Amino acid sequence: MPHSGPPKLPSALSLGRDRAAVTLREVAERAGVSMITVSRALNTPQQVSERTRQRVQEAVAALGYVPNLVAGGLRSSRSHVVTALVPTLTGPLFGAMVQALTDALELHGFQVMVGQVGYAHSREDELLRAIVGRRPDGIVLTGVMHSPEGRRLLTASGIPIVETWDYTDTPIDMLVGLRHEELGAAVCEHLFARGRRHLALLSGGDERAARRAHGFTAAARRLGLRSPAVRLGPSPTTHADGRDGLTALLAEAPDTDAVFCSSDMLALGVLTEARVRGIAVPQQLAVMGFGDIDFAQTVSPSLSTVRIDGARMGQLAAQWIADRAEGRPVAAPVVDVGFSIVGRESA
């Protein structure tokens, strides 16, 4: 059952136009000093006064300027490197996107470097400063919830940016993703249509999972159901988290008849714990996952879940970056890939 949101026109500032990097000259003009003074303040700060250093640093922070760490002579040609940042490399959820991105960019002569940022803004910001300074030909990000500093760095870099796995009306540059609130609501409606009335939610605490949880609980209220029991934990989630989570949920709400999990791995843990407790799935307890990873179809009972077309996200991101690097316009730089509810035995 595919779901995709209505098309929305991006703002005039997010149409994938060429974005010039903030220059040393702009920093100098803002600080009211010469370009050589800015260079000294950044590279040999002992040669300038404390007051001058402070003025330069304030200008750098305000403009989001990142020094180019690649030798100037090398910038006459492209780096042919694209950086992709994902929250975790330990699970398969983002693997299809990274593989499709790598395969598609290789056809255009680009190599992909993958970085793991976790789920904390501070880690992403640290990596972004290192990456932007080396001027890759493109940056592919997971999600849209960046810190103010991270957003300034990306906006000022002039590098083609593709945000993935999420949706916003104000992307930094280009975006291919989905609306997580709508996904959560659709899962709630799916369970309701199958007679489930005592819902629960087992979720990681990252921002995308939180928006799915919000959509799920808001839909339950609209349908006249009691507020779902909720158990939140750290991301990335594990099989053990699923077992522990179901134990906690049943202690709080013993009559729970459906659980929506923020990952298939969590859902597998729920299936295991239910089997150990002698709870029949789906007769007594329906279980829904998220991600449709490999084992979802072959586990017993087979796992109902939500499928996201990660490969399409990677292919679109690759094409857009290649187009921009080769001077071609990107006609539609914002795409909602939607999602599909996959109904199997567990729900």
Helices within the chain (DSSP H only) = 24-31, 35-43, 50-63, 95-107, 121-133, 148-157, 180-193, 207-222, 239-252, 264-277, 310-325
- What are the tokens at 34? 């010469």
Higher-confidence position of 16 and 25: 25
Work out the burial of residue 306: count CB atoms within 10 Å of its CB; fewer than 13 is exposed, 13-18 middle, 19 or more buried. buried
**Whole-number Å distance between alpha carbons of 35 and 152:** 21
Instruction: Tell me the average pLDDT across 147-154.
Output: 89
Omega before 301 cis (within 30°)? yes
Omega before 236 cis (within 30°)? yes
pLDDT band at 220 (very low <50, low <70, confident <90, very high): very high
For domain 7-20+77-178+310-339, the CATH class is alpha beta
* Range of weakest confidence among 5-14, 141-150, 275-284: 5-14
β-bridge pairing 161-164 and 305-307: unpaired
Helix (H, G, I), strand (E, B) or coil at 334: strand
Omega before 254 cis (within 30°)? no
Higher-confidence position of 334 and 8: 334
Q: Comparing 23-63 with 180-307, is the CATH topology the same?
A: no
Query: Looking at residue 123, what is its pLDDT?
Result: 77
Which CATH number, 1.10.3120, 1.10.3470, 1.10.260, 1.10.443, labels domain 23-63?
1.10.260
Query: Looking at residue 225, what is its pLDDT?
Result: 97
Residue 347, H or E segment: none
Say how far residue 19 (Cα) sits from the centre of its chain: 22
Whether domain 180-307 has CATH 3.30.1330.60: no
Domain boundaries, the chain: 7-20+77-178+310-339, 23-63, 180-307
Total residue length of the chain: 347
Q: Is the pLDDT of residue 314 over 50?
A: yes
Contact 282, 315 (CB under 8 A): no
Helix and strand counts by DSSP (H, E) for the chain: 11, 13
Per-residue pLDDT reduced to its tens digit, 64-110: 887 765 544 444 456 789 999 998 887 778 999 999 999 999 999 99
Q: Is the pLDDT of residue 11 over 70?
A: no
Query: Looking at residue 221, what is its pLDDT?
Result: 97
